[in-house]
Chains A and B, each alone.
Chain A
Amino acid sequence: MAAGKLTSKQRVAWTFLTIGVLLYALFPVASIFVTSFKTQADLGSNQFWPTTWTWDNYEMIFVGGAQELFLTALRNSIGITLIATAVAVVLSTLCAYAIARLNFPGKRIILGTALAVSIFPVISVVTPLFNLWRTIGLYDTWLGLIIPYLSLTLPISIWTLSAFFRQIPWELEQAALVDGATQWQAFRKAIVPLAAPGVFTTAIIAFFIAWNDFVYGISLTSTEAARPVPAALAFFTGASQFEEPTGAISAAAIVVTIPVVVLVLLFQRQIVSGLTQGAVKG
């Protein structure tokens, strides 16, 4: 490393800082994780660890009473999120490429609008959207969620990708053109492979945003036809009206966290890979 070796004092400081951040970030996850293995009796015991580990909560959401509610919601979540992510990535790739490469009037306006949309509070849009969706028949449909999700994912995707595309050396594309490529070939063979890490990162961010949404999910759906998991969790019920379904909710929360963790682990290398090294003089 160019920064050189850390002194032992610095190392100790960094270690403590890292542990602190890790604890702060991971403790809630760990807490939900152990809660999902607690029996109903353990839930109120005020202890971190369950006295007996049980799969009951998972059984309940996958094969038990909450099965229908959870599994359809999971299907909705996966479907809606994947479609929204795919559309967002394709559109933002084309848009960001144009922004990074071409000079056209209104470039600033597009970027500015994207930024404005992304800082617009979701909660203020949701009520008019609810009314509009009901009128035009998009209420409680997949498409009815995909469209608002695009409004969340597109701006950030356009921004991250256009920043990323700007770093890709222009000359590579020109070299490909002179080498005999068409504009499309130059884009696909010289630019896309280099842009892939950026596109992956963007896709993952877009996926998280859509996956984690709660406000649209709860407001624009009413039945299992389109209700995603975060919204469905609110509809879990305990065995009796005096029992909170905390265990089942925890189990469901852990299940929906898994794709996120898997994605990050899977694409970690793509996200951080320094593919552009060596393209130009380093």
Chain B
Amino acid sequence: MASISIRNLVKEYGDGYPAVNDVSLEIEDGEFVILVGPSGSGKSTVLRMIAGLEDITSGELLIDGERVNEKPPRERNVAMVFQNYALYPHLSVYENIAFPMRLHKGQFSKEEVDQKVRKAAETLELTEHLDRKPANLSGGQRQRVAMGRAIVREAAAFLFDEPLSNLDAKLRGQMRTEISQLQRRLNTTSVYVTHDQTEAMTLGDRVAVLKKGELQQVASPRELYEQPLNLFVAGFIGAPSMNFLPGSVEGTTLKTPIGEIELNEKQAEAGRDKEVVLAGIRPEFFDEASQVDASQRAKGQVFTAELSHTEWLGNEQYAYVNYENDPRVTDVLQSLAEDMDADELRTQLVVAVDAMSTIRGGDTAELWVNTRRIHLFDPATGENLTRDAEAGARLTEMAREDRQREAERAGAKLSS
């Protein structure tokens, strides 16, 4: 168990391209931190630098307060789970799990190794597969063997490199829960790399969002969602993505292509001196006007729009509204779309409506939008103009307390 301090970490490749640029991150003992970002954001590189598989160009890496920049992987006492499992195909499941202990000759007696392997196998429900070879296991089982190899070590930290991306969707959900519970039970500091929204939101105590090697924001999933620091974080976190409507603020009115939206004084204040702003509205801020009761209705505004089409997903339904984009922001939105791995920018508003709703494409619908949760972004800098830093910090502090409570509960369960 250990804390990990990443200080101004830089990774440059031979051609001088910084894959990771000045990333700083303090990871507390027992914390579960997710590194998330689109491909090429440097998230895996950061993880591999922690593991010692990648040299550090500059900056400092401390594990448990000790500088480990120059140490080879074996002296860092971290365990890693690879995307492709990286099981030793010539060894049985038992020997795969025992492998790390076998490397430290004399440190573990035969009985100790056996006991630890069996305990890990039991935890991961692998007992009946111990004599089999990895080739004969299913994807989920292989993943569990890889985790078994990590947990027998009693390592200072677990590093996960997109461990679930090779599994099918159903299994992924199940393994996600298992990883989460395992981490809580063992209370081992964990760093987890993923590009999957759901994994980032559900697993992490804190989530670090990276773009092109630069850290954008580190916060609890809730804070990222509610109080994103900039346009990129707002757009990257949440699926479907946040809508960005161009507009200008006059008085307390936001003029947008879909109509005028009345803002409160604080919001309007933030955007008033900008010529053009981007209003960030998540799909679920919308609803069908008829579904919203009167007390709620006052918190937002009703407008009419023609729907281009709808998508029904069983538990939810999305309606799409086409709008004319403002030429002043097309470049910004285009580059944002590229940053987020989306191929092109769509001038389509995504609106979440009730799954039971009967509105269909072609209809003109009365929609309601919750205006209080709208964020305004500066298209020039990407900065969130209406971010409430205090509220955000409160959300992250809440997640921290949650974690500590859970760790205590798990600890109590272990000792009883």
Q: Chain A interface (Cβ within 8 Å of chain B)? A: 169, 171-172, 174-183, 185, 189-190, 193-194, 275-282
A-facing residues in B209-229 (Cβ within 8 Å): none
Report if B78 contacts A (CB, 8 A).
yes
**Chain B 77-105 interface mask (CB, 8 Å, partner A; 1/0):** 01110111111111000000001100110
A-facing residues in B99-153 (Cβ within 8 Å): 99-100, 103-104, 133-137, 139, 142, 149, 153
Report yes or no: A179 in contact with B153, Cβ–Cβ below 8 A. yes
Report yes or no: A279 in contact with B72, Cβ–Cβ below 8 A. no
Q: Which of B80, B90, B103 is within 8 Å of A193, CB to CB?
A: B90
With known contacts A174-B82, A281-B139, A275–B166 Cβ distance under 8 A: no
Q: Which of B74, B80, B82, B87 is within 8 Å of A278, CB to CB?
A: B87
Q: Bound complex: CA of A164 vs CA of B134, how far in Å?
A: 21
CB neighbours of B333 from chain A (8 A): none
With known contacts A180-B103, A185-B103, A278-B136, A174–B86 Cβ distance under 8 A: yes
**Chain B 192-217 interface mask (CB, 8 Å, partner A; 1/0):** 00000000000000000000000000
Q: Bound complex: CA of A281 vs CA of B80, how far in Å?
A: 17
CB neighbours of A275 from chain B (8 A): 89-90
Name the residue on B nearest A282 (C-beta). B135
Name the residue on B nearest A192 (C-beta). B90
CB neighbours of B85 from chain A (8 A): 280-281
Report yes or no: A281 in contact with B166, Cβ–Cβ below 8 A. yes
CB neighbours of A177 from chain B (8 A): 52-53, 72-74
Q: Chain B interface (Cβ within 8 Å of chain A)? A: 51-53, 72-74, 78-80, 82-90, 99-100, 103-104, 133-137, 139, 142, 149, 153, 159, 166
CB neighbours of B90 from chain A (8 A): 193-194, 275
Name the residue on A nearest B139 (C-beta). A281
Name the residue on B nearest A174 (C-beta). B53
CB neighbours of A281 from chain B (8 A): 84-85, 139, 142, 166
Q: Bound complex: CA of A143 vs CA of B52, how far in Å?
A: 45
Total A-B Cβ pairs within 8 A: 91
Name the residue on A nearest B75 (C-beta). A180
Q: Which of B52, B88, B134 is within 8 Å of A178, CB to CB?
A: B52
How many Å from the CB of B328 to the closest CB on chain A? 46
Name the residue on B nearest A172 (C-beta). B86
Q: Bound complex: CA of A282 vs CA of B134, how far in Å?
A: 11
CB neighbours of B72 from chain A (8 A): 177, 182-183
Q: Bound complex: CA of A172 vs CA of B96, how far in Å?
A: 11
Report yes or no: A178 in contact with B84, Cβ–Cβ below 8 A. no
How many Å from the CB of A169 to the closest CB on chain B? 7
Q: Bound complex: CA of A222 vs CA of B385, how far in Å?
A: 93
Q: Which of A172, A181, A190 is within 8 Å of B74, CB to CB?
A: A181
Report yes or no: B88 in contact with A190, Cβ–Cβ below 8 A. yes
Name the residue on A nearest B78 (C-beta). A178
CB neighbours of A190 from chain B (8 A): 88
Name the residue on A nearest B83 (C-beta). A171
Name the residue on A nearest B146 (C-beta). A175
Q: Bound complex: CA of A178 vs CA of B102, how far in Å?
A: 13
With known contacts A175-B80, A177-B74, A185-B103, A278–B52 Cβ distance under 8 A: no
Name the residue on A nearest B51 (C-beta). A178
Report yes or no: B84 in contact with A182, Cβ–Cβ below 8 A. no
CB neighbours of B99 from chain A (8 A): 176, 179, 189
How many Å from the CB of B367 to the closest CB on chain A? 44
With known contacts A171-B86, A278-B133, A280-B86, A180–B100 Cβ distance under 8 A: yes
CB neighbours of A172 from chain B (8 A): 86, 88
CB neighbours of A282 from chain B (8 A): 135
9 A/B residue pairs, CB under 8 Å, sorted by A:
A174-B53, A177-B72, A178-B80, A179-B79, A180-B73, A180-B153, A181-B74, A278-B89, A282-B135
A174-B86, A189-B88, A278-B87 provided; 14 other pairs, C-beta below 8 A? A171-B82, A171-B84, A172-B88, A174-B73, A177-B52, A177-B73, A177-B74, A178-B53, A179-B74, A179-B79, A179-B99, A179-B100, A275-B89, A282-B135
Q: Bound complex: CA of A280 vs CA of B52, how far in Å?
A: 22
Name the residue on B nearest A276 (C-beta). B89
CB neighbours of A183 from chain B (8 A): 72
How many Å from the CB of B170 to the closest CB on chain A? 16
CB neighbours of B87 from chain A (8 A): 278-279
Report the 7 A-B pairs with minimum CB-CB distance, sorted nearest first.
Answer: A278-B135, A175-B86, A280-B84, A171-B86, A278-B134, A179-B100, A279-B89
Q: Bound complex: CA of A193 vs CA of B84, how far in Å?
A: 19
Q: Bound complex: CA of A194 vs CA of B135, how far in Å?
A: 13
Report yes or no: B88 in contact with A181, Cβ–Cβ below 8 A. no
How many Å from the CB of B167 to the closest CB on chain A? 9
Q: Which of A169, A174, A179, A193 is within 8 Å of B149, CB to CB?
A: A179
How many Å from the CB of B257 to the closest CB on chain A? 46
Name the residue on B nearest A179 (C-beta). B100
How many Å from the CB of A171 to the closest CB on chain B? 4
With known contacts A174-B53, A175-B86, A180-B100, A279–B134 Cβ distance under 8 A: yes
Q: Which of B73, B86, B136 is within 8 Å of A169, CB to CB?
A: B86
Report yes or no: B84 in contact with A169, Cβ–Cβ below 8 A. yes
Q: Bound complex: CA of A143 vs CA of B72, how far in Å?
A: 42
Q: Bound complex: CA of A17 vs CA of B80, how far in Å?
A: 52
Q: Bound complex: CA of A277 vs CA of B132, how far in Å?
A: 13
How many Å from the CB of A238 to the closest CB on chain B? 54
CB neighbours of A180 from chain B (8 A): 73-74, 100, 103-104, 153
How many Å from the CB of B30 to the closest CB on chain A? 20
How many Å from the CB of B196 to the closest CB on chain A? 17
Name the residue on B nearest A274 (C-beta). B135
How many Å from the CB of B317 to the closest CB on chain A? 35
CB neighbours of B135 from chain A (8 A): 277-278, 282
Q: Bound complex: CA of A181 vs CA of B75, how far in Å?
A: 9
CB neighbours of A182 from chain B (8 A): 72, 74
How many Å from the CB of B156 to the closest CB on chain A? 12
CB neighbours of B88 from chain A (8 A): 172, 175-176, 189-190, 193, 279
Name the residue on A nearest B132 (C-beta). A278
How many Å from the CB of A176 to the closest CB on chain B? 8
Name the residue on A nearest B90 (C-beta). A193
